[in-house]
Amino acid sequence: MSRLSGKIAVVVGGHDGIGGAIAQRFAVEGATVYATSRRADGSDIAYGAGSVRARRVDASDAEALAAFFAAVQREAGRVDVLAVSAGISEFSTLDGVSEDHFDRHFGLNVRALLFATKAATAIMPDGGSVVLVGSIADEIGTKGYGVYGATKAAVRSFARTWANELAPRSIRVNVVAPGPTDTAMFAAASDEVRETLTQLIPLGRMGRADEVAAAALFLASDEASYITGAELPVDGGMAQV
């Protein structure tokens, strides 16, 4: 039986990359998935036992986000599973950080994640699941990515608090924390940067988006029914050994 059969899922930032892989995997496992992005075309595509309904939403726009969840409630009545993947990661060392750099990172990676989770859990039945896409950057202190790392540390902290707050409703909140993953975010990186990162990974390669999606599916499904407040690294061992 499909692990998310009959579930209504929302993936914020579900157009491509890790978020897109999560949306497709949730659908293959039987969910009706509402996947948001600023580039979505409004199409509905069948995947396996479920489908992905692409919806154009700017997650950093609180009003647009609220309107989207209101529409999901009208159409589907609830949200059983939420995954939040929308985010940006741009280089800047401390001496070069601007207010705009800070505000854009915290606006999308933290503020949007908070209000998406608030809206989704307001219409989530008891026993639902929230999966937040964090990063091993929350603990390894990568040069030039201090603001990004700080946003992911905030995500990790939110997961702990929300797991506590939502436990009376049996809603689980967990983080999947990728390491370097071969997505569009890394496509512009030089061969030198990619090689340097790869040398730091015990398994000797960058991750794939589908590998992160598999971990997100586990956390979202009943197979993780006794797991909440946790962070699951998917990093080839980079921050683990």
What is the number of other CB atoms lying within 10 angstroms of the CB of residue 1? 6
Annotated catalytic residue within 34, 47, 145, 148:
148
The pTM for the full model equals: 0.96
Distance CA 157, CA 139 (A): 12
What is the CATH topology of the domain spanning 8-232? Rossmann fold (3.40.50)
Concerning whether 148 is annotated as a catalytic residue, the answer is yes
Distance CA 51, CA 9 (A): 10
- Please list the residues that pair with 46 across neighbouring strands: 51
DSSP per-residue string spanning the chain: --TTTT-EEEEET-SSHHHHHHHHHHHHTT-EEEEEETT----EEEETTEEEEEEE--TT-HHHHHHHHHHHHHHHS--SEEEE-------B-GGG--HHHHHHHHIIIIIIHHHHHHHHHHTPPTT-EEEEE--THHHH--TTBHHHHHHHHHHHHHHHHHHHHHGGGT-EEEEEEE-SB-SHHHHTS-HHHHHHHHHT-TTSS-B-HHHHHHHHHHHHSGGGTT--S-EEEESTTTTT-
pLDDT values of the chain reduced to their tens digit, one per residue, 241 residues:
589 999 999 999 998 999 999 999 999 999 999 999 988 787 888 998 899 999 999 999 999 999 999 999 999 999 999 999 999 999 999 999 999 999 999 999 999 999 999 999 999 999 999 999 999 999 998 889 999 999 999 999 999 999 999 999 999 999 999 999 998 777 766 788 788 888 999 999 999 999 999 999 999 999 999 999 999 999 999 999 9
- Angle of helix 146-166 relative to helix 113-122, nearest 10 degrees, comes to 20
Phi, then psi, of 129 in degrees rounded to 5: -140, 140
Nearest to 201 by CA among 165, 240, 149, 236: 236
